[in-house]
Structure 1
Amino acid sequence: MATMESLIGLVNRIQRACTALGDYGGGDTAFSSLWDALPSVAVVGGQSSGKSSVLESIVGRDFLPRGSGIVTRRPLVLQLYKIDEGQQEYGEFSHLPRRKFTDYAMIRKEIADETDRVTGKTKQISPIPIHLSIYSPNVVNLTLIDLPGLTKVAVEGQPESIVEDIENMVRSYVEKPNSIILAISPANQDIATSDAIKLAREVDPSGERTFGVLTKLDLMDKGTNALDVGRSYRLQHPWVGIVNRSQADINKNVDMVVARRKEQEYFATSPDYAHLTSKMGSVYLAKLLSKVYFMYPVRQELPSITSLINKTIDELESEMDHLGRPIGVDAGAQLYTILELCRAFDRVFKEHLDGG
């Protein structure tokens, strides 16, 4: 367990460093992108799939902006750290490293404000991620990337290219071979129309990296269930069912702990899903992802990550050598630099004289 937590913590720190240095993948740079080499869990779904509710259920808190249309307009890298019971839980943004947010309503506001800072108060999107770390006794050690919801049509105020722009952004995350795809689909809609599954099948046809999540199981038509989905759309991993909070519960600010308990009660008492209770729900999903995240991409990709870091260091050191030594800031160091330059000039001048 200690090894798993230290490895996940290492990946989290590297991701934060990448963002601070302007490396968030997918761009044309002079050096290799470390961000693209890192493992990730990409959360993918349509705009009404219940994606936000799944993330909040995993965290056990209300913290994501809500509204109509495209609410997630920048990738949100959500890094979860489990702390001991009794410790103060809080959130911290990489762009505000010294500020601890203990009020989750303020976290929600900061996500919205930081999104607007880059995109403006419009409906535009940006590939530059927001980094949020949450320290809580109610989470598992895990990193998730919340991506803009896939959509089929542009709404007023959006360019016609928004549909393609969002798909390209999401695709840039899920097509990486070291990316785990968390494909969110509502159970009360035809799974054949699921944008998340369609995209996942294109980039991961074997289903090895895809985890299917069915939301809104409690909203299916009476007399129907989602058991056939797993048989019709097979993945390498079993589908996981989730029961979201209802809109009425959200409006009443029903506590997420209460919502988790109601979710467990739903599965335990359901004639359709009672036999699967131990492998259903948001708590099980979080533990499953944390385990797989370590077993598959983190452990497998660590040697290549180490190699890329060493390669990048060599490239940067070579560039530094080409630029020359740094100039000192104090008078003594600057005088020394001038003397060094004079000696170098004297040496080169003599070589030319001797050669001529």
Structure 2
Amino acid sequence: MKCLQKVGKSSVLEALSGVQLPRAQNICTRCPLELRMKNIPFNQTEYATIRCEGIPEIKINKFSEIMKRITDCTVQLAGATNNVSSKPIYLTVYKKDIQADLTLIDLPGITRNPIDGQSKTIYKDIVELIEHYIKPQTAIVLHVIPSSVDFTTSESIQLAKKNDPHCERQLIAVSKIDKFDKGIGEKLQGIGPGSMALKLGCVAVLNRTQEEIDQNIPFDEMRRREQQFFRSNEAFEGVSEQYLGSGQLVKRLALIQQERIRSTLPSIIDELKKEIKSKKSELKQMPPSVTSEIDCWALYADLIKKYREIINARVYGVYDNDTQLKIETTDLSRTDARTQMSNDRFDERIAFQLYNRQKDCREKLHNSFTHFFSSEYQKRVLELLEENAGVALPNFPSFSIVERLYRAEQNKFRKPCEDLIESYTEYCKVVLIKILNEVFVEETSYKYLIIHKLTDIILRAIDESEERCSYDIKKMLETEQRVFTLNHYYMDAVNKIKQKYQEYNNSIKLNQHTKVPSTFMINDFVIDVSSLSNEQQAALDVQIAMTAYCHVVEKRIVDQVSQLCYYWLITRCALVLDSKLSSAFTSAVLFEWMREPIDQQQKRENLKRSIHAMEKALAMGQNA
């Protein structure tokens, strides 16, 4: 955050953090102050930490000491005069009433004319310092500008425009709002003279008066007074609440921070990964939470056993209450609820979900075949019979014709099979990792380390099984190049059609003056045998053969590809994952991770919060 001097910057920072910061007549902030605000549960004690170069981290139990500690760090870095330093001070505040975790960097205000004790190059030094922080595209610039000032002429705005000419990463905290001019409502919304229509907008903040500071009015009371000020003042009637109050400013900053993390990938992700790795390495070096390797191994073995049992139950169709159909009678009918649950293709009902994917494959494969009894297909067959003239006896088609027609169909088999493999693999990855996270549900210091490692093992095992499955299915499809079957379905279908055709001819002879239906259905396909010439009868024989044989191939492929997917991804992978996971760590490694003496709990909790926050940010960035 970068602001001008004497514009209520301290009040804005205090309103955001809930702690009192140093104030001075001339230049107040003489070093970059990295202020991190962390929300903590109500059962924990509030505190702060501060450090800088030359002063190791100090824990502050009384917030009233923060001003003195900041002053000490400032003197350490910038001296006792009024000079500035580019070296930062790191202040982290852990409070119960913080609305959102935020990180703000308070920079020195711009000073054009040096005063006693300041360098003659103070203006140049401050500008260079500010530009160093606002130049990165990841930086968001929060200007603190009094309500009565023309926003467009603000020096901080002009400086920020050099690195952000379109003002896409700037917003204004409008301070000293009690001294507003006419039209302040429109000005906050980027309308009218002196306003700026910033992409990130403006938020008005009510500063503490000197009397309120002297009386040490609590920040909770100040927020109440701020809300009352905006509600009771006619100038703000009709102005959306998103433009009014320090609470809205915190929300705006938190939202911007989240969106900025998403938009600055992949550099932010890389930095987060490095920081997470560093924090996890530090966490790993802390003593685990158990007292012996035997206890450690027993706990881990129980977790892996639970994981195995859940997977086995889901594979064999045993679902607990959490995965059963939940019907909300007030909102959904019984049928609607069941339909909604069935549409969740990634729930834990493994047997049910795999069966649905197999049905999808069967449908795709079935729909991929040509309509063999269409007039267009008959024309194609007649063309091939004509080409075959002189090769075989009349009305006795060559086997090569069937092979040529079948080859055109065979090219369509691969896509449905590949889709089934991909669907199986994607589902297994999602559901097996989901179950793993449910098993390791307790928040422990070792949870993320172990899950991270086990996730790698699970995904690698699934990828290996997918590769082997794909290889076997490729070989299986290669065997389908040969036209061959001993399946009785083929001859049954052929004989039934010919029998129907013979019955039709006999009916014609017996009922010469009566119209006899020439269309009939056998095994899901409709056939019209009326007025067939000799050539068309020969073509019909080929069409019958193609239809019957492709139905055989369809059933054969669906069964085989389903069996192979199940064998490699379930039987040889999901159902035996526990053996891989059980050998993932040595007892010594587990013992090192899980042991945890009482005097290390506070440090562990701090690290865990930091890791959790960064992993949450990383997940948000990766899912954006």
| TM-score, normalising length: structure 1 | 0.70
- Larger proportion of helix: 2
- Report the Cα distance in structure 2 between the residues aligned to 1:53 and 1:203, rounded to whole angstroms: 27
1:209 maps onto 2:169 in alignment: yes
The one-letter amino acid paired with 2:249 is L
Contact kept in structure 1, 2:144 and 2:175, CA below 8 Å? yes
Q: Give 1:278's aligned residue.
A: 241
Q: Give 1:112's aligned residue.
A: 71
The one-letter amino acid paired with 2:257 is Y
Q: Report the Cα offset of residue 105 of structure 1.
A: 2.1
**1:53-202 residue pairs with structure 2 within 5 A?**
53-62=11-20, 64-95=21-52, 99-139=58-98, 140-202=100-162
Q: Give the 3 Å change call, closer, same or farther, for CA 48–258 of structure 1 in structure 2.
A: same
Deviations for 1:98-124, whole angstroms, at most 9, x for unmatched residues? 642121221110110011012210111
Deviations for 1:277-299, whole angstroms, at most 9, x for unmatched residues? 52111111111111210112x22
- Larger proportion of strand: 1
- State the secondary structure of the residue aligned to 1:272: helix
Aligned length: 267
Contact kept in structure 2, 1:181 and 1:210, CA below 8 Å? yes
Q: Give 1:261's aligned residue.
A: 224
Determine which structure has more spread, i.e. the larger CA radius of gyration: 2
The percentage of aligned residue pairs carrying the same residue is: 34
Q: Give 1:18's aligned residue.
A: none
**1:33-48 residue pairs with structure 2 within 5 A?**
43-48=1-6
Q: Report the Cα offset of residue 152 of structure 1.
A: 2.5
The one-letter amino acid paired with 2:131 is R
- State the secondary structure of the residue aligned to 1:276: coil
The one-letter amino acid paired with 1:168 is E
Contact kept in structure 1, 2:34 and 2:90, CA below 8 Å? yes
The one-letter amino acid paired with 1:57 is A
Q: Report the Cα offset of residue 97 of structure 1.
A: 6.3
Contact kept in structure 2, 1:70 and 1:123, CA below 8 Å? yes
Q: Give the 3 Å change call, closer, same or farther, for CA 277–253 of structure 1 in structure 2.
A: farther
- Report the Cα distance in structure 2 between the residues aligned to 1:91 and 1:186, rounded to whole angstroms: 30
Q: Give the 3 Å change call, closer, same or farther, for CA 310–250 of structure 1 in structure 2.
A: closer
- Report the Cα distance in structure 1 between the residues aligned to 2:42 and 2:7, rounded to whole angstroms: 33
- State the secondary structure of the residue aligned to 1:78: strand
Q: Give 2:264's aligned residue.
A: 301
Q: Give the 3 Å change call, closer, same or farther, for CA 162–185 of structure 1 in structure 2.
A: same
Contact kept in structure 2, 1:214 and 1:241, CA below 8 Å? yes
Q: Give 1:247's aligned residue.
A: 210
Q: Give 1:352's aligned residue.
A: none
CA RMSD of aligned residues (A): 2.2
Q: Give the 3 Å change call, closer, same or farther, for CA 101–311 of structure 1 in structure 2.
A: closer
- Report the Cα distance in structure 2 between the residues aligned to 1:214 and 1:169, rounded to whole angstroms: 23
- State the secondary structure of the residue aligned to 1:268: helix
Q: Which runs of 5+ in 1 are unaligned?
A: 1-42, 313-356
Q: Give the 3 Å change call, closer, same or farther, for CA 224–306 of structure 1 in structure 2.
A: closer
- Report the Cα distance in structure 1 between the residues aligned to 2:4 and 2:179, rounded to whole angstroms: 17
Of 200, 205, 225 in structure 2, the residue corresponding to residue 237 of structure 1 is: 200
Q: Give the 3 Å change call, closer, same or farther, for CA 273–310 of structure 1 in structure 2.
A: closer
Q: Report the Cα offset of residue 163 of structure 1.
A: 1.1
The one-letter amino acid paired with 2:241 is S
Contact kept in structure 1, 2:51 and 2:73, CA below 8 Å? no
- Report the Cα distance in structure 1 between the residues aligned to 2:12 and 2:84, rounded to whole angstroms: 22
Deviations for 1:183-218, whole angstroms, at most 9, x for unmatched residues? 111112333432222222222121210111211111
The one-letter amino acid paired with 2:222 is A
- Report the Cα distance in structure 2 between the residues aligned to 1:130 and 1:168, rounded to whole angstroms: 18
Q: Give the 3 Å change call, closer, same or farther, for CA 107–131 of structure 1 in structure 2.
A: same
Contact kept in structure 2, 1:267 and 1:277, CA below 8 Å? no
Deviations for 1:211-259, whole angstroms, at most 9, x for unmatched residues? 11211111135x5535236224211122111111112211221211111
Contact kept in structure 1, 2:110 and 2:127, CA below 8 Å? yes
Contact kept in structure 1, 2:51 and 2:58, CA below 8 Å? no
Deviations for 1:127-183, whole angstroms, at most 9, x for unmatched residues? 111111111122111100010011232112212210111111011111211101111
- Report the Cα distance in structure 2 between the residues aligned to 1:52 and 1:110, rounded to whole angstroms: 16
- Report the Cα distance in structure 1 between the residues aligned to 2:179 and 2:271, rounded to whole angstroms: 47
Q: Which runs of 5+ in 2 are unaligned?
A: 276-624
- State the secondary structure of the residue aligned to 2:262: helix
| Greater RCO, 1 or 2 (C-alpha within 8 Å, sep 6+) | 1
Q: Give the 3 Å change call, closer, same or farther, for CA 98–113 of structure 1 in structure 2.
A: closer
Q: Give 2:452's aligned residue.
A: none
Mean Cα displacement is larger for which, 155-164 or 125-134? 155-164
1:291 maps onto 2:255 in alignment: yes
Contact kept in structure 2, 1:44 and 1:51, CA below 8 Å? no
| TM-score, normalising length: structure 2 | 0.41
Q: Give the 3 Å change call, closer, same or farther, for CA 172–277 of structure 1 in structure 2.
A: same
Deviations for 1:22-59, whole angstroms, at most 9, x for unmatched residues? xxxxxxxxxxxxxxxxxxxxx11111111111110011
